[in-house]
Amino acid sequence: MKLNFSKSNKIFNIFLILLFVVIFTDLDPTLTYISSYLKTPLILIYLASTALILYEFLHQLHLNFNETNLLKKAHKDVQDSLNQLNHDEKYFLSQFTEKQVLELIFDPKNPTIQILQSQKFIIDLNKSEGSKKYYRIHPNVYRYLRAHPKVLY
């Protein structure tokens, strides 16, 4: 088991809780007598430990909230961009979702492909096969299209 500061703080906090249970139930008179002198420092250490755990929890909650908001914003941007595409451009994007692949081969001289590439829907992989080139769909676009396939029709 790999111990870092967070885990050791949680373990220490549990230890302090168990120590308080033993003290308040008078299971060990010697421990109760010793702790009567150290009651204030023990409570302060417990509060500091709990504050660190609470801070870590709130920080992680804040990061998850920000990540969710960024993902929603990215989906909204993709949706707005997809709504502005014409039928031919949507057809080329639908090829990726119908075949369930991230890479396809297209003619680079096709104006629709050039438009999709300029709008960053697809990325040129600099691999070619004859006169055609391999293109990869942007991962955010692909995820959105897999979740909402009716956007293209």
CATH code where residue 89 lies: 1.10.10
Can you give the residue range of the structural domain that contains 117? Answer: 85-152
32 located within any domain: yes
Among candidate residues 44, 74, 104, the one where a domain is terminated: 74
Residue 146: which of 83, 112, 113, 100 has the closest Cα?
100
89 located within any domain: yes
Tell whether pTM > 0.85: no
Query: 101 and 145: one domain?
Result: yes
pLDDT of residue 1: 57
Distance CA 38, CA 137 (A): 64
Total domain count for the chain?
A: 2
Q: What one-letter code names the amino acid at 112? A: T
pLDDT in 10s for each residue of the chain, 153 residues: 566 888 888 888 898 888 888 888 878 788 778 777 888 888 888 888 889 889 999 999 999 999 889 888 888 888 888 888 888 888 888 888 888 888 888 888 888 888 888 888 888 888 888 888 999 998 888 888 888 888 777
